[in-house]
Amino acid sequence: MNKDKVFEYIDSKSELFATLSDKVWDAAELRFTEKVSAELISKALEDEGFTVERGIGKLETAFCGRFGSGKPVIAFLGEFDALPRLSQKAGIPSKEESVAGGNGHGCGHNLLGAGALAAAFGVKRYLEESGREGTVIYYGCPGEEGGSGKVFMVREGVFDGVDCALTWHPADHNEVTATSYLASYTVNYRFRGTSAHAAANPEAGRSALDALELMNIGVQFLREHIPSEARIHYAITDTGGSAPNIVQSTAEAVYQFRAPQLHQAAAIYPRLNKIAEGAALMTETEVDIRFIRASSNTLPNTVMEQMLYENMAALPYPTVPDSEKEFMAAISATLPPADSTNWGEVLPYVPSSASRPASTDVGDVSQVCPTAQLDGAVWPANTPMHSWQAVAVGKSETAHRGMIFAGKALAATAIDLFEQPEKLTAAKEEFLRRTAIAPYTCPIPADVMPDMPKQKQAASFGRCS
Ligand SMILES: [Zn+2]
Ligand SMILES: [Zn+2]
């Protein structure tokens, strides 16, 4: 069976994938609450003949759909979670909320989940028609944005037995993801003091806000003494109140810190804790430290990346339909002037050991099996991730076309891996070489549970944040 037949099959189901993506866009569910989205994709897998398992990895909205038997086992990773406070009407070129204060698919995970599903359907068709031994698994991975859902899944052994994994991310260009993402941690620091009248009884007060300020100053001095490419970000999520005549008895900040290698990020964690404890000691307050999430740096796999590139380059590039040219031009007019080469072609593949200044929970999958990913153009050039523009074009025919393109490239690469076992062997050898340098340990402790969103989420910590 040649790839064209698989592409035809994916095309024949393109309406289904577009509808699914749009319904996930409509549902716009935050991390670990994606019940509607997870069920939509699970049901589509069942209807297609996959054996579906729900609630895997101790996560209610994680699932997998499996087809075939025996080796090799090739996995596609799908995401479907949205972002807080990014509600936006679809199909209009101006910022306008659809639901006041609502969520939105500013990272295109509606397209990501449906595009990976297209790949899984294509490979199932290939396995059926070719009669070849092997298994394809679609992993429904919840809570990428601020949740590191895949890391919890890795921790629970969900990917054990998988030979390799493929995925993609919506973007403003077509390119194999050749650079590595940073390892990343998120930790919450909550200070508790004693309130008092700030003028009448200042000696009775112990300010949690003072402690938080001292912690931030301490971290400011720490920044000089971490690896150059490491980053420490913070957001104050509780100032203790708005009345200056009350000594603030609570204050809270969430810190996110990243580094090219997991061990480098892990080394920052105890140093932050010491600063927080020092700040508490200085102010006679107490600090509660709550580990939220962590994800590892991604391990590149040049064997699979080269295969992805060849399959992307062999496909016709997706184009903007005439009916949407005006809309896309109007969206582009709201963005910085674009490099026109980003759109409508596949950028050259250049293997790289560099890190990109972002993080993803795909990192931990890449630490337990050979993994490769691509960026697929679904947005006009220069569209930032996590922007209203990304939400506005998320249901467009242009985005649907980009999603199908990505699905076909992923499916074709999986077929090559089935057809050319020597390539899979080479990918595994590369994976073993890379993991031998720094053997993997899951960065999320065994007792840490997924962080559910609060009603008013202050920030998101996904790969694009
Ligand atoms: Zn994303
Ligand atoms: Zn994101």
Q: What are the boundaries of each domain within the chain?
A: 3-181+297-437, 183-293
Query: How far is ligand 2, taken at its centre, from the CA of residue 164, in Å?
Result: 23
How many alpha carbons lie under 13 Å from residue 132 in its C-beta half-sphere? 22
- The reported pLDDT for the residue numbered 463 is 42
CA distances from 169 to 119, 269, 420, 456 (A): 13, 29, 25, 26
- 183-293 belongs to which CATH class? alpha beta
- The reported pLDDT for the residue numbered 359 is 94
Give the position of tokens 């910022």.
Answer: 95
Strands 286-295, 73-78: pairing is unpaired
Query: How far is ligand 1, taken at its centre, from the CA of residue 237, in Å?
Result: 23
Q: Calculate the CA 443 to chain-centre distance.
A: 16
Give the position of tokens 């007792």.
Answer: 447
- The reported pLDDT for the residue numbered 460 is 41
* Cα–Cα dist 332/380, whole Å: 6
Query: How far is ligand 1, taken at its centre, from the CA of residue 452, in Å?
Result: 18
CA distances from 122 to 119, 127, 338 (A): 5, 9, 34
Q: What is the pLDDT of residues 136-157, one digit of tens each?
A: 999 999 999 999 999 999 999 9
- The reported pLDDT for the residue numbered 344 is 74
Give which of 374, 370, 381, 365 is closest to 409, Cα–Cα.
Answer: 374
Query: How far is ligand 1, taken at its centre, from the CA of residue 338, in Å?
Result: 21
- The reported pLDDT for the residue numbered 454 is 77
User: Which residues of the chain fall short of a pLDDT of 70?
Assistant: 1, 339-343, 455-465
CATH number 3.40.50.970 given to 3-181+297-437: no
Query: How far is ligand 2, taken at its centre, from the CA of residue 107, in Å?
Result: 5
- The reported pLDDT for the residue numbered 299 is 96
Query: How far is ligand 1, taken at its centre, from the CA of residue 55, in Å?
Result: 22
Query: How far is ligand 1, taken at its centre, from the CA of residue 462, in Å?
Result: 6
- The reported pLDDT for the residue numbered 2 is 86
- The reported pLDDT for the residue numbered 458 is 40
Query: How far is ligand 2, taken at its centre, from the CA of residue 389, in Å?
Result: 14
Query: How far is ligand 2, taken at its centre, from the CA of residue 464, in Å?
Result: 4
Query: How far is ligand 2, taken at its centre, from the CA of residue 386, in Å?
Result: 6
What's the CA dihedral at 269, 271, 272, 275 to 10 degrees?
Answer: 160
Quick one: which ligand is closest to 79's CA?
1
3-state SS, residue 51: strand
The backbone torsions φ and ψ at residue 234, rounded to the nearest 5 degrees and listed phi first, read -150, 160
Query: How far is ligand 2, taken at its centre, from the CA of residue 331, in Å?
Result: 20
* Cα–Cα dist 294/261, whole Å: 12
Contacting residues for 242 by C-beta, under 8 A, at least 6 apart: none
- The reported pLDDT for the residue numbered 338 is 77
- The reported pLDDT for the residue numbered 456 is 42
Residue 371's DSSP bridge partners are: 165
Buried b (16+ CB within 10 A) or exposed e, 351-376: eeeebeeebbbbbbbbbbbbbbbbbb
CA distances from 439 to 51, 338, 361 (A): 33, 41, 17
| Count of beta carbons in the 10 Å neighbourhood of residue 235 | 12
- The reported pLDDT for the residue numbered 457 is 42
* Cα–Cα dist 360/265, whole Å: 14
Query: How far is ligand 2, taken at its centre, from the CA of residue 166, in Å?
Result: 18
What share of the chain has pLDDT > 70, as a percent?
96
- The reported pLDDT for the residue numbered 339 is 66
Q: What is the pTM of this model?
A: 0.94
Query: How far is ligand 2, taken at its centre, from the CA of residue 38, in Å?
Result: 18
Quick one: which ligand is closest to 362's CA?
1
Q: What is the pLDDT of residues 309-327, one digit of tens each?
A: 999 999 998 899 999 999 9
